[in-house]
Amino acid sequence: MAELTLHRVSYRYPRAARDALQGVECRFRAGEVAAVVGPSGSGKTTLLSIMAGLDRPSGGEVLVDGKKLSEMDLDAYRRQYVSVIFQAFHLFPLLTVLENVCFPMELLGAGEKDARAQARRNLELVGIAEEKHRRYPSQLSGGEQQRVAIARALSSGARILLADEPTGNLDGENSRNIVDILTRLAHEGGYCVVIVTHDPAIAEAADAVYTVADGELSRMA
Ligand SMILES: Nc1ncnc2c1ncn2[C@@H]1O[C@H](COP(=O)(O)OP(=O)(O)O)[C@@H](O)[C@H]1O
Ligand SMILES: [Mg+2]
């Protein structure tokens, strides 16, 4: 299982005059998709960075399955507990699709054969056909690249998936496809999925909806 609880979390960038996040109180559960919506500059990416362990909060606590993130090994957390999916996919351009998905497993010490077998299963899960496994990311459509990015995000065994505007570069049909995959991972796979977005369609499909305004988070649904 995996869930993330934020308790009175605040964050201020170095030398900034005001907090980018303040008093954030929420709980993201396993098996659920949460959408966080808010205008540009409201603090969405900052919130994901804190949850991804890329930055320590200035105040408050992040709890991972009830354990304080501040007392955990942050590198291990980033490698094994949490994966981030980005708007711009961020696949490695010089690695094939299969190699991209293998990469996190090899980083964790898996053998090549095991990594490849697991990578194929992950790619199947997101609907990337075998004949595309040897292509480079530039030889795929945007929607396919994002699906490969999701397959790679699963490779580390992380149970918390954080997506920052994952459909921002995609058309309507591909966006729905990505949301369907993330929803399936939450509902059927028990993953804790948090999607930051300004796409109302994502918010509509989510189990929980939060809005951020000026660094403050409120639950809407
Ligand atoms: N590296 C940074 N240094 C200083 N301020 C930043 C930095 N990154 C973001 N901010 C500020 O923090 C606030 C929230 O930004 P961000 O989390 O990126 O918003 P969003 O993702 O909702 O567009 C904004 O006012 C932004 O200007
Ligand atoms: Mg952002």
In this structure, the residue with its CA closest to atom 16 of ligand 1 is 43
Cβ neighbourhood burial of 80 (10 Å; 0-12, 13-18, 19+): middle
Number of the ligand closest to the Cα of 16? 1
- Asked whether 43 lines ligand 1 (CB < 6 A), one says yes
> 218 near 210, Cβ under 8 Å?
yes
Q: Torsion angle of alpha carbons 190, 178, 195, 137, nearest 10°?
A: 110
Number of the ligand closest to the Cα of 166? 2
Using pLDDT thresholds of 50, 70 and 90, give the confidence band for residue 70: very high
Beta-sheet pairing, 192-197 with 33-37: parallel
User: Letter for the amino acid at 193?
Assistant: V
**Alpha-carbon separation of residue 3 from 18, 23, 122 (angstroms):** 29, 19, 22
Q: Which CATH class is domain 30-54+73-211?
A: alpha beta
Per residue in 4-46, pLDDT tens? 999 999 999 999 999 999 999 999 999 999 999 999 999 999 9
> 27 near 4, Cβ under 8 Å?
yes
What residues contact residue 14 under an 8 Å CB cut-off, 6+ apart? none
In this structure, the residue with its CA closest to atom 26 of ligand 1 is 41
- Asked whether 145 lines ligand 1 (CB < 6 A), one says no
Name the residue of 42, 49, 55 whose CB sits within 8 Å of the most ligand 1 atoms, as the mutation to test its pocket: 42
Using pLDDT thresholds of 50, 70 and 90, give the confidence band for residue 199: confident
User: How much is the pTM?
Assistant: 0.96
Beta-sheet pairing, 21-28 with 4-11: antiparallel
